[in-house]
């Protein structure tokens, strides 16, 4: 059957961009559907659809764009309607009650926190309304100019509220996860993070050691830059210091500006709550988690790892935690000497940490803004990383992260395992998550190990293992 195109514009129909990316991906998995674009009709998304060869009618950023190509489009269109109806129902609108149409009107209702997830060019206005209403705000959106970020955070300091972000992908407030967040047991450790995946690594390791988390306050990756000056970091530290449930604070960041780091350390020195710092380049994330355990008087466990086990499943031993690191398995037959070491990452801080530890190779952070414009984050959509795996050659070593939790791919091993099993390179996986995550840490680890990967719960340990392979 010759593929045909179907293009629809639904004026005034809005859905969250991440939710629409999930719909687009699921539509592409339907029989007969070759291409599916379901997105708000922003200039970027219109350009992407045109690049795919669709002829588009006039549409604006407040309209929903649907562009399908394939054989059975009537069936696909009916399924799309069903899935969009589910999204509309998920908004939680009560019968007879108009949902707020703006942040300002929503702020009039009882609330403590505003979550902003709109295109970056519109995020400032929504976040500003939240700050002016005296509410803390998490700005999930990226692409916000740094000048607007500074203005928001200075105003927030005057109003006594916290701005988390922009580009804040992870937060946990009193056990409630926002953005990409793991399921963590409650406990005494509070985290201030200028790195989402860095916070996830530290809190997941602590959870595996039996230590819970009070709050994770993301501040955005630029907060400790010279331009922003650590405005939200300093406020978040003071907030956790005032929190009776927090006995220890862990501060996680990409490499900070030296002067800003000095100013933050002055704040830390004046707190009554002890602080463990994990600045990239000074201490790896696993070492920070271990220092936190020691500060709490708790033993440091052997972090879980799963050896590559291609073929039928074998028992992993007590709780799936072998006594030693995985040994090289089928890679012995792959002639790996002289090959490349490739870092194929979804988390920027995890990627930077691994690059520093390994000290060589080609590392790509597919979660960088350059790769996520117009497409879902690689924690949701594995397409770009699957393509990278397909380019690996015999003799290569591939090091990648898999991050679990709410917001992430509901079953990353399902897509990755076939690619790993067919990959001619030696594959090492840093698996970040907890047993209570929807995907299940142990279940994912076993599936990845059966596909032939050596799997580590510690990104630093995974990087050192990959580094030491011949």
Q: Say which CATH number the domain at 82 has.
A: 3.30.70
Span 273-332, pLDDT tens digits: 999 999 988 999 999 999 999 999 999 999 999 998 765 443 343 344 443 455 444 433
Q: Say which CATH number the domain at 355 has.
A: 3.40.50.261
Query: Do both 84 and 52 map to the same domain?
Result: yes
Query: Do both 265 and 318 map to the same domain?
Result: no
Q: Domain for residue 349, yes or no? A: yes
Strands 213-218, 170-173: pairing kind: antiparallel
Query: Do both 253 and 325 map to the same domain?
Result: no
Query: Do both 124 and 166 map to the same domain?
Result: yes
Query: Do both 211 and 250 map to the same domain?
Result: yes
CA distances from 153 to 43, 157, 225, 407 (A): 29, 6, 13, 26
Query: Do both 278 and 372 map to the same domain?
Result: no
Q: Domain for residue 300, yes or no? A: no
Span 199-222, pLDDT tens digits: 999 999 999 999 999 999 999 999
Q: Domain for residue 98, yes or no? A: no
Query: Do both 423 and 279 map to the same domain?
Result: no
Query: Do both 283 and 321 map to the same domain?
Result: no
Q: Domain for residue 240, yes or no? A: yes
Query: Do both 62 and 189 map to the same domain?
Result: no
Q: Is the peptide bond before 166 cis (omega within 30 degrees of 0)?
A: yes
Rounded to 10°, the helix 348-358/459-468 angle is 40
| Cα 333 from Cα 326, distance rounded (Å) | 17
**Count of domains for the chain:** 3
| Cα 145 from Cα 124, distance rounded (Å) | 9
What would the 3-class secondary structure string for 229-285 be? CCHHHHHHHHHHHCCCCCCEEEEEECCCCHHHHHHHHHHHHCCCCCEEEEECCCCCH
Helix (H, G, I), strand (E, B) or coil at 70: strand
Q: Domain for residue 333, yes or no? A: yes
Q: Domain for residue 261, yes or no? A: yes
Q: Domain end: 247, 266, 295, which one?
A: 295
Low-confidence ranges of the chain (pLDDT < 70): 1, 89-98, 310-338, 374
* pLDDT value of residue 127: 96
Q: Domain for residue 64, yes or no? A: yes
Which residue, among 308, 317, 347, 338, has the nearest Cα to 465 in the 3D structure? 308
Q: What is the DSSP string of 106-148?
A: HTTSS-SEEEE-S-HHHHHHHHHHHHHTT-EEEE------HHH
Domain range for residue 316? 305-468
Query: Do both 316 and 437 map to the same domain?
Result: yes
* pLDDT value of residue 168: 94
Are residues 399 and 454 in contact, defined by beta-carbon separation less than 8 angstroms? no
What element of type H or E holds 37? strand 33-40
* pLDDT value of residue 97: 60
Q: Domain for residue 97, yes or no? A: no
* pLDDT value of residue 374: 64
Q: Domain end: 262, 295, 328, which one?
A: 295
Q: How many residues does the chain have?
A: 470
Query: Do both 163 and 57 map to the same domain?
Result: no
Q: Domain end: 295, 324, 351, which one?
A: 295
Are residues 192 and 251 in contact, defined by beta-carbon separation less than 8 angstroms? yes
* pLDDT value of residue 90: 53
Query: Do both 234 and 344 map to the same domain?
Result: no
């Amino acid at each position: 059957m010759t593929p045909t195109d179907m293009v629809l514009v639904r004026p005034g129909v809005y859905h969250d961009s991440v939710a629409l990316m999930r719909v687009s991906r699921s539509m592409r998995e339907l029989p007969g559907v070759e291409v599916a674009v379901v997105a708000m009709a922003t200039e970027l998304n219109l350009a992407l659809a045109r690049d795919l060869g669709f002829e588009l009618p006039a549409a604006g950023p407040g309209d929903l764009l649907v562009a399908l190509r394939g054989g059975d489009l009537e069936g696909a269109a009916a399924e799309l309607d069903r899935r969009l109806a589910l999204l509309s129902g998920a908004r939680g609108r009560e019968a007879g009650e108009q949902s707020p149409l703006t942040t300002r009107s929503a702020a009039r209702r009882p609330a403590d926190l505003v979550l902003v997830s709109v295109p970056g060019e519109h995020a400032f206005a929504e976040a500003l309304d939240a700050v002016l209403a005296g509410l803390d705000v998490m700005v999930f959106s990226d692409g916000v100019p740094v000048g607007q970020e500074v203005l928001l955070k200075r105003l927030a300091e005057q109003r006594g509220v916290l701005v988390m972000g922009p580009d804040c992908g992870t937060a946990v407030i009193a056990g409630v996860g926002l953005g990409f967040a793991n399921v963590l047991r409650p406990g005494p450790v509070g985290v201030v993070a200028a790195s989402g995946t860095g916070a996830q690594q530290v809190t997941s390791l602590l959870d595996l050691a039996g230590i819970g988390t009070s709050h994770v306050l993301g501040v955005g990756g630029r907060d400790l830059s010279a331009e922003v000056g650590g405005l939200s970091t300093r406020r978040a530290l003071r907030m956790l210091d005032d929190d009776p449930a927090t006995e220890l604070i862990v501060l996680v960041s990409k490499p900070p500006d030296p002067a800003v780091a000095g100013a933050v350390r002055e704040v830390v020195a004046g707190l009554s709550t002890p602080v463990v710092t994990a600045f990239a380049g000074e201490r790896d994330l696993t070492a920070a988690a271990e220092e936190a355990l020691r500060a709490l008087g708790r033993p440091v466990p052997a972090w879980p790892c799963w050896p590559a086990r291609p073929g039928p499943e074998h028992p992993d031993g007590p709780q799936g935690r072998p006594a030693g690191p995985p040994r090289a398995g089928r890679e012995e037959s792959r002639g790996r000497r002289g090959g490349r070491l490739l870092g194929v990452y979804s988390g920027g801080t995890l990627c930077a940490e691994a690059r520093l530890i390994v000290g060589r190779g080609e590392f790509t952070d597919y979660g960088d803004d350059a790769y996520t414009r117009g497409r879902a984050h690689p924690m949701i959509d594995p397409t770009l990383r699957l393509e990278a795996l397909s380019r690996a050659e015999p003799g290569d070593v591939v090091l990648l992260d898999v991050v679990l939790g709410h917001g992430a791919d509901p079953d990353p091993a399902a897509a990755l395992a076939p690619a790993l099993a067919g990959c001619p390179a030696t594959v090492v996986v840093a698996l970040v998550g907890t047993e209570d995550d929807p995907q299940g840490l142990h279940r994912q680890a076993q599936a990845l190990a059966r596909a032939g990967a050596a799997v580590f719960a510690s990104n630093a340990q995974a990087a050192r293992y990959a580094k030491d392979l011949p």
